[in-house]
Amino acid sequence: MKRIASGAVISIAGGGLSFVLSIAYQVIVARRLGPASFGLFVLALAIANLFAEGSDLGLDYGVLRFGGIAYDASDPGGFRAILRPAVLGSLLVGAAAAAALATGSALVAHLFHKPGLGPVLIPLALSVPFTGTTEVLRAGLRAMGNAVRPVAATSLIGPGLRLITAALIVVFVRSAPAVGWAYLATECAVFLITTVMLWQLIPSADRQRSPVKQLVRFSVPMSLNRLLLYGNNQTEIVFLGFLAPTVTLGVFGVARRLTALLSGLLGSMSILFNPIVAGMHHSHRTRELDRIFKTSTRWLVTLALPICLIEVLFAPDILSVFGKEYSGGAVALVVLALGQLVNVGTGTVSNLQAMAGYAKITLMNSLLFLSLSVVLDLLLIPRFGLLGAAVANSSSTIVVNLLRLWQIRKNLGLVPYDRSFLRPIAAGLPAALVAWFVPLPDLLGLGALAIRAAILGVVYVGALLILGIEPVDREIARAMLARVRGRKIDSPAVDPSGIR
**What one-character-per-residue DSSP string does 232-274 give?**
HHHHHHHHHHHHS-HHHHHHHHHHHHHTHHHHHHHHHHHHHHH
* Confidence class for position 335, pLDDT limits 50, 70, 90: very high
Band the pLDDT of 412: cuts 50, 70, 90. Answer: confident
Q: Are 329 and 356 in contact (CB under 8 A)?
A: no
Q: Rounded to whole angstroms, how far apart are CA atoms 417 and 294?
A: 6
Instruction: Work out the percent of the chain whose per-residue pLDDT is above 90.
Output: 20
The per-residue pLDDT for 376 is: 93
CA dihedral sign of residues 20, 22, 28, 33: negative
Segment among 168-177, 239-248, 277-286 with least mean pLDDT: 277-286
Higher pLDDT, 78 or 187: 187
Distance set, CA 440 to CA 9, 309, 312, 445, 448 (Å): 34, 19, 19, 11, 7
The Cα–Cα gap between 332 and 102 comes to 32
Residues 67 and 82: beta-carbon distance below 8 Å: yes
- Whether the CB-CB separation of 346 and 271 falls below 8 Å is answered with no
How far apart are alpha carbons 368 and 399 in whole angstroms? 10
Whether the predicted pLDDT of 425 surpasses 80: yes
Helix ranges (H only) for 322-385 are: 330-346, 348-355, 359-384
Write out the DSSP string of 142-176. HHTT--HHHHIIIIIIHHHHHHHHHHHHHHH--SH
What pLDDT was estimated at residue 431?
92
- Alpha carbon distance 15, 21 (integer Å): 10
User: What would the DSSP string read from start to end of 20-81?
Assistant: HHHHHHHHHHHHHHHHHHHHHHHHHHHHHHHHHHHHTTTHHHHIIIIIHHHHHTT-HHHHHH
pLDDT at position 33 is: 86
Tell me the whole-structure pTM to 2 decimals. 0.71
At residue 459, the pLDDT reads: 93
Q: CA-CA distances (angstroms) from residue 433 to 227, 308, 336, 459, 478?
A: 41, 14, 21, 10, 32
Distance separating alpha carbons of residues 133 and 460, to the nearest angstrom: 40
DSSP annotation of 208 reads -
| Average pLDDT of the chain, as a whole number | 79
Average pLDDT over residues 422-431: 89
- Write the pLDDT tens digit of every residue in 194-232: 888 888 777 676 666 666 777 777 777 666 766 766 666
408 to each of 10, 101, 149, 405, how far by Cα in Å? 28, 38, 31, 5
Residue 350: per-residue pLDDT: 72
Stretch 61-68: mean pLDDT, rounded? 75
pLDDT at residue 85 above 90?
no
Q: pLDDT per residue over 438-488, tens digit each?
A: 877 665 667 788 888 899 999 998 998 888 777 666 665 555 455 445 444
CB atoms within 10 A of CB 426: 12
pLDDT of amino acid 283: 63
The whole-number average pLDDT for the span 124-152 is: 81
Where does the pLDDT of residue 95 fall: very low under 50, low under 70, confident under 90, or very high at 90 and above?
Answer: very high
For the residues 114-130, what does the mean pLDDT come to? 93
User: Over pLDDT 70: what percentage of the chain?
Assistant: 76
pLDDT in tens, 19-54: 778 888 888 888 888 888 888 998 999 899 888 887
pLDDT of residue 324: 81
Q: What is the pLDDT of residue 3?
A: 55
pLDDT in tens, 267-301: 655 555 555 666 666 666 767 777 777 777 888 88
| pLDDT, position 156 | 78
Confidence tier at 90 by pLDDT (50, 70, 90) = confident
- Tell me: the pLDDT tens digits for 348-366? 777 677 666 666 777 788 7
Amino acid identity, residue 185? Answer: A
